[in-house]
Structure 1
């Protein structure tokens, strides 16, 4: 028996609840990632060492500094990502007269959805980075927002848009493109348990590949949004970092990103499925 389809609002709510749950559990890894990406002195050289250093120097609560911004971002971000991916997929299939999705279309659709998503998330990302920076003197999200608008105007909230576009286009193209390919190679699921395992496997592989593609852009984005005037545009900044710190510096924060991806994906899946089952039960 097939599951009862639910209106979009229920999918939106389930995705938002799942996303917020994942953030509450996994957010410290994002703080660690940002610290490593902004570090040019070698002070934060490993994930465990970075955790210990932050807690010792600044207290445990610092691991949750700036969490309000991503929590507020989560619902519109997830709604935009998946809705845009679905709508752009329909558009491209119609444009190219293709009856069903193919891998090249999945890559193109994911990249376009990522670009669309960037316009929603960049102000939240900017505020989050400013709060996660060790040198930050801001008290909270509103304090950062007021300072940015007062200093640079309302469009100052879009500092780092270009690098955010690179980051999200690379991520979504790799993520959705590889998910499509992995599912094509795997056998058709015979029951809901097998489907869950296939979704979890393809999602983890796609997410890992997306992280491999977009981490250099993420490093640049973090530095641009932190306010370092040395970094203004993405491609020149990649060369500056590579020249001054070595190629490996472009992958600072990669390990905590991947560590967040695996368990975080499991949390998302479990909470999302639980919420959708609950919504079906009250229909």
Structure 2
């Protein structure tokens, strides 16, 4: 689903793919099954530290804002800490996202022999600063997603009654996390499209620059609907993924407290 999402978002104008299944079929037929996993090593390498920062920084910012500014637990604090944690998370993941996008771009087929070769070629052409390309958009993407995710979770937890059983607690967390992940994906997909377009550029002069102008440019040239290219494969992964993520986090932290 990650490769499919990237292919949808990189397409300018009319889509080559009519659906997720059509995209799968065309990638399989034209590039082989290995293409469905192209660029995956980069996000896998950063997955564990990314999740640690997501929740660790969220908790740390929560304590900071309560101690320094007197914030109380609630949706406003949840959104603020989520946004702050998202910015911290983005700084870590941006180089890995850049490599992933370059590897998954159909136009780069044959350019890179693998993830390591992609890293070498980016460094050779753009230097170390080349790995910061798209950082602003990545910050927007993660800040918006985390703010929406933790804000919805806070709202649902304050609305739903406390579960009386372990299974009930797991179900409550899964529902909260899934709804949070779905809502957050609805909010941040335009920023994700902008990030993908910015990071996918290799030919100078670059068409896409700063995040907001890039979003406005896509909307003007391709319509507002283009800002949600790749939304379905993205939400299918991050909706339920948000639920699983929250369940695992709560189980692990509860065990560690004991």
Q: How does 1:208-227 map to 2 (within 5 A)?
A: 208-227=182-201
- 1:34 equivalenced with 2:34 (yes/no): no
Q: Which residue of 2 aligns with 1:60?
A: 33
Question: Which of 76, 82, 86 lines up with 2:49 in the alignment?
Answer: 76
Q: How does 1:84-163 map to 2 (within 5 A)?
A: 84-98=57-71, 100-136=72-108, 137-163=111-137
TM-score (norm 2): 0.91
Q: CA RMSD in A?
A: 2.0
Deviations 1:236-255 (A, max 9, x none): 11111011100000000000
Question: Which of 135, 154, 174 lines up with 1:180 in the alignment?
Answer: 154
Question: Equivalent residue of 2:70, what SS?
Answer: coil
Q: Give, in whole Å, the separation in 1 of the partners of 2:24 and 2:252.
A: 32
**1:259 Cα offset (Å):** 1.1
Q: Give, in whole Å, the separation in 2 of the partners of 1:275 and 1:170.
A: 25
**1:204 Cα offset (Å):** 0.6
Q: Give, in whole Å, the separation in 2 of the partners of 1:276 and 1:110.
A: 18
| 1:211–1:257 CA contact under 8 A, matched in 2 | yes
Q: 1:262 to 1:114 in 2, by over 3 A?
A: closer
| 1:36–1:45 CA contact under 8 A, matched in 2 | no
Could you list the runs of 4 or more consecutive aligned residues of structure 1 that deviate by over 2 angstroms after TM superposition?
A: 261-277
Question: Equivalent residue of 1:168, what SS?
Answer: helix
Query: Which structure has more RCO (C-alpha within 8 Å, separation ≥ 6)?
Result: 1
Question: Equivalent residue of 1:135, what SS?
Answer: helix
| 1:38–1:223 CA contact under 8 A, matched in 2 | yes
Gaps of 5+ in 2: none
Q: Give, in whole Å, the separation in 1 of the partners of 2:23 and 2:61.
A: 40
Q: Which residue of 1 aligns with 2:141?
A: 167
Q: Give, in whole Å, the separation in 1 of the partners of 2:246 and 2:149.
A: 16
Question: Which of 220, 223, 238 lines up with 1:246 in the alignment?
Answer: 223
**1:264 Cα offset (Å):** 3.4
Q: Give, in whole Å, the separation in 2 of the partners of 1:91 and 1:30.
A: 35
Q: Give, in whole Å, the separation in 2 of the partners of 1:245 and 1:80.
A: 35
| 1:123–1:158 CA contact under 8 A, matched in 2 | yes
